[in-house]
Amino acid sequence: MLTNDLIQNRLTEKFGDRVYNFSAPYGMLTFDADNDINLKVLGFLKEDETLGFTYLNDLTAVHYPSQKGKELAVVYMLQNIHAGIRVRFKVFADIAKPDVFTATGLFETANWLEREAYDFFGVNFVGHPNLIRIMNVDEMDYHPLRKEYPLEERTRIDKDDEMFGRIAQ
Amino acid sequence: MNQKQNIQLPEGSLGKQTSTLNLGPTHPATHGVFQNILEMDGERIIDAVPTIGFIHRAFEKLAEHRAYYQITPLTDRLNYCSSPINNMGWHMTFEKLIGATLPKRVEYMRVIIMELSRIADHLVCNSVIGVDTGAFTGFIYVFEFRELIYEIFEEICGSRLTTNIGRIGGFERNFTDIVFQKLDHFLKTFPKAMEEFETLFNRNRIFMERTMGVGGIGAERALNYGFTGPNLRATGIDYDIRTAHPYSSYEDFDFSIPVGSTGDVYDRYLVRNEEIWQSVSIIKQAIEKIKNLDPTIFHADLPDYYLPEKEDVYNKMEALIYHFKIVMGETNIPTGEVYHSVEGGNGELGFYLISDGGRTPYRLHFRRPCFIYYQAYPEIVRGSMLSDAVVTMSSLNLIAGEIDA
């Protein structure tokens, strides 16, 4: 029977203190891992017999401007389809050098999801076969979902939404 | 006009034995804004390069600047063939974040709405497979019943396609008697039409030969590509969010998960048809269950999050205060990260919400099923005929709005 405790034990056995911050908000086991072992963690979760997380449920990125040196997070969510259990983990990257190894070798799912994360956040997935923009035009020279970009054009004063709490961060 | 025409040919294109074909983005056979650059050897496809993003509207960025109760209209425009499921999925995600439990009647009402929209979604997809194989009749015929479903939505929330149905915590108003009459009418007339629709296609020689063995994908590849929904179940894997991660009291219902075996267009078609029958049965069960519950309950008691009725806002102090707090963003929202998924019309629609306690989400990511499985399209159509590629595309139930977000 696969439980969150079992998964956590297997992971700490294998990776020691390179996986940390375990918690289970809303029932889903979440943790952080070192940037350079993301593929090892993914591969272990996928190929270990007791774990069997063969399904990459989701992959996305998050921008935390206040965490210096760890501004960009790449979030992986995997699922063991037979047991119906999901895990989620994050790896962090420096926004000045946002290199993260690509998961396309393990999961075909990762291909477009990583392109999306690159397009929106500028995460450089090292080894990706076709890392080009997927939603926005190729000529775009910034990554729009980073927090420094406001939603509205700054020159427009008629759309000042500060009253309603929509302040650009 | 005398200017010399300077045609720049790509390198190597003069001696090339194959031809390049642009299928889309505004091709009538693609049912949406899709572009596929096909490399063709005669009528056979050697390679396909899908381009997406033509109707990208930056929903994830927009969502970071909208209060929680204002995000529902964004979800409408993802899979617009079954927007109520998206709306409910978003409400449930937020309810999961705040830890709300809903009255059973509200959950059953949601089940009715979600299953109706699943029927509408599957009807469109399956009848369009018919259109692409040359049979227009079925499409025209079942659209009458999609119309009946839309009339029910209209009666509940006032709109039809992009519904914005329900609120955080329940519905904005109760189901009226007319809703139940319309439901009754739909449940009485639809099964007969569905039977005829199945008679028209299921054992139709032309339809079978056009769809069997076309656009197939194996279970292992489908999992690797992140398939969900009917497309995954057609390969033989019984993964359905409604049973794997039950939400909205689906565990109270008795229904089965149809699976296929070969994962081709015909199997997808059959799986969807059977799901329509299962949905009809779920709706009937839900109506029976609702009859025994207090008919006045249509939302949970969540004054901090559920917008009160306008009548009360004008006449009651409490309601006015809560209305002000919700609209001005004075409510305390819990911080945390939550993922919730629902079984959408074409697969697992997930919401990954990060809240930092502010009025708007810190980050909201939509896990859009057809964005994820559309990347398998080149592999599926490689080696098939051009006409099969069109049928394959419609059988995958690709919705441009959902792919591009």
CB B228 within 8 A of CB B369: yes
- Whether the model pTM is above 0.95: no
Please say if the pLDDT value at position A29 is more than 90. yes
CA distance B270 to chain A (A): 23
Of B41, B27, B17, the closest CA to residue B386 belongs to: B41
Instruction: Provide the H-helix boundaries in A67-143.
Output: 110-121
Is the pLDDT at A168 greater than 60? The verdict is no
Supply the mean pLDDT for chain A: 87
A2–chain B Cβ distance below 8 A for any pair: no
ipTM for the predicted complex:
0.91
Mean pLDDT for the stretch of residues A107-116: 92
Phi, psi of B191 (to 5 degrees): -55, -35
SS3 B189: helix
Contact B402, B369 (CB under 8 A): yes
Domains of chain B: 19-51 (no CATH), 59-404 (1.10.645.10)
What's the gap in Å between the CA of A17 and the closest CA on chain B? 23
Residues in A touching B372 (Cβ below 8 Å): 109, 112-113
Contact criterion met (CB < 8 Å) for A108 and B225: yes
How many pairs of residues across A and B have Cβ atoms under 8 Å apart?
Answer: 97
Q: Which A residues, 69 through 98, put their C-beta within 8 Å of a C-beta on chain B?
A: 75, 77, 81, 84, 86, 88
Partners of residue A161 in chain B, C-beta under 8 Å: 65
Based on C-alpha coordinates, what's the Rg of chain A? 18
Q: Identify the pLDDT of residue A64.
A: 92
pLDDT score recorded for residue B123: 93
> Which structure tokens are listed for A8?
């956590």
Residue with tokens 């979902």: A145
Q: Residue B301, exposed/middle/buried by CB under 10 A (0-12, 13-18, 19+)?
A: exposed
Is residue A169 scored above 50 in pLDDT?
no
Rounded to 10 degrees, the C-alpha dihedral B68/B72/B78/B83 comes to 150
Query: What pLDDT is stored for residue B367 in this prediction?
Result: 93
- Mutation to test the B interface, candidates A134, A152, A160, most B Cβ within 10 Å: A134
Other beta carbons less than 10 A from residue B27's beta carbon: 15
For chain A, domains (ranges, CATH) are 4-143 (3.30.460.80)
A107 CB within 8 Å of a chain B CB? yes
* Residue B35 contacts residue B53 (beta carbons within 8 Å): no
Token couple for B360:
């708007």
The mean pLDDT of A128-136, rounded to a whole number, is 91
Q: What is the model's pLDDT at position B34?
A: 85
| Selected residue of B223, B240, B403 to mutate for chain A interface (largest A Cβ count, 10 A) | B223
The single residue listed with the structure tokens 């390049």 is B20
Beta-bridge partners for B352: B339, B365
Q: Is B330 helix (H, G, I), strand (E, B) or coil?
A: coil
- Model pLDDT for residues A60-71, shown as the tens digit of each residue: 999 999 988 899
Place of tokens 């609120």: B167
- How far is residue B190's CA from residue B193's CA, in Å, rounded to a whole number? 5
Of B337, B360, B404, the CB nearest to A166: B360
Give one DSSP letter per residue of A22-53, joined into a string.
Answer: EE-GGG-EEEEE-GGGHHHHHHHHHH-TTT--
Reading chain B (405 residues) residue by residue, the pLDDT tens digits are 455 566 677 777 777 788 888 887 887 777 778 888 999 988 899 999 999 988 999 899 989 888 888 899 999 999 888 899 999 999 999 999 999 999 999 999 999 999 999 999 999 999 999 998 888 888 999 999 999 999 999 999 989 999 989 889 899 889 999 999 999 999 999 999 999 999 999 998 999 999 998 988 999 999 999 999 999 999 999 999 999 999 999 999 999 999 999 989 999 999 999 999 999 999 999 999 999 999 998 999 988 888 888 899 999 999 999 999 888 878 888 999 999 999 998 999 999 999 988 888 999 999 999 899 999 999 999 989 988 988 998 899 988 889 988
Q: How confident is the model at residue A156 (pLDDT cuts 50, 70, 90)?
A: low
- Contacting A with CB below 8 Å, chain B residues are 52-53, 56, 58, 60-62, 64-67, 96, 221, 223-226, 237, 239, 244-245, 328-329, 336-339, 348, 350, 352, 354, 358-360, 362-363, 365, 367, 371-372, 374-376, 404-405
pLDDT of residue B18: 85
Residue in chain B closest to A56 (alpha carbons) equals B226
Minimum Cα–Cα distance from B98: chain A residue: A26
